[in-house]
Amino acid sequence: MMNEDIVAVSLFSGAGGLDIASFMANVPVISSTDFDADCVETLKANEMFGNTKVFEGDLHNIDSDVFKNCVIEHNPKKFIVIGGAPCQPFSKAGYWVGNQTRRGINDPRATLVDEYLRVVVDIQPDGFVFENVESLLHPTNKVIVEKFLEIVEENGYTCKIVRANALDYGVPQKRKRLFILGTKGSFKSEEPRKTHCDPSKCDVLGLKPYVNVGEVMQGFDTDEYFEEYEVAKGGTYYNDLCQVPPGQNYKALTAWAGYPNPKFVADKRFWSFLLKLSPDMPSWTITAQPGPWVGPFHWNNRRLRAPEAAAIQTFPRGYKFCGSRRSVQKQIGNAVPPLMGKAMIEFVKESLE
């Protein structure tokens, strides 16, 4: 028996973004789970998960007792549940209709959000961190959040909804996410502690300036890290990409920007078309499945290498990913940036101490 002060049970672990965050917050992860075989291999390939039980499978088919038994085996003073449930499709069954919550928990048609709630209700952690897309607060989806809060509050949790931008926590990337944080204790402050801000406000707020991608991507622009995937040369829009200044997108090549002989019309393309990073700025959101000419591209007119994308997400340097290049991109793009997750987990941990 380890009898640690506080440990975490991770659901929808993916490549381990939120799990790494938990380790960073000194909350060891005792179990991780995902249905994707490559994600499971990724977790097992990294030393920090050496003492973590990793389960492969669909959460619909994993009994809550599996996680309860892990907790009993470790015998911690406190434990939390962490995870970012895949958000599509949202269920019209399960919890979100009517008040028969137990039927919702057991409904085989229920979504993965339902499954997260089912585990929380069944194993009664001292706190939890739930991550999702910001659009969960959109009026069409709001019923999900309302029912989520209703159920956890019935189970004795105090909650906070945090609309967070990864930039504020030292991640060199604009990435907005929604967190629902729950505790059976009491929150000691209003919100998770921000560490970074717009450089113009640093003196007033006493925080560090936003991190730029040039800082975290150093060392990867060598032949050693070359990938076939990165080559854009010879492609349909390669010459146009070369004309886009760092930190801008295709709109730099339109009449709107005063470009001579414009090839494109402003606002007729998706904003990330030919989007190019600048080393002196943070990145835009790293995506799981970028289209062929969707950025962000490297300022050297190529696609980002996997370790560069991972660095922008604040994965530890040298973290191993398993699977095809497409699978690795998906794992990195779907992850919660560890530094962002760390702030959320620390906030919940503090409420339990």
Q: Looking at the annotation, which residues are catalytic?
A: 87
Question: Is there a contact between 7 and 70 (Cβ–Cβ < 8 Å)?
Answer: no
**Euclidean distance between CA atoms 245 and 149, whole angstroms:** 45
**Euclidean distance between CA atoms 153 and 188, whole angstroms:** 18
Question: Is there a contact between 337 and 173 (Cβ–Cβ < 8 Å)?
Answer: yes
Q: b or e along 177-215 (b: 16 or more beta carbons within 10 Å of the residue's beta carbon)? A: bbbbbbbbbebeeeebebebbeeeeeeeeebeebbbbbe
Return the closest-CA partner of residue 31 out of 62, 9, 14: 9
**Helix H or strand E segment including 31:** strand 29-34
Calculate the alpha carbon distances from 261 to 147, 165, 254, 257, 265 in Å.
Answer: 54, 38, 8, 11, 11
Place of tokens 């530890």: 316
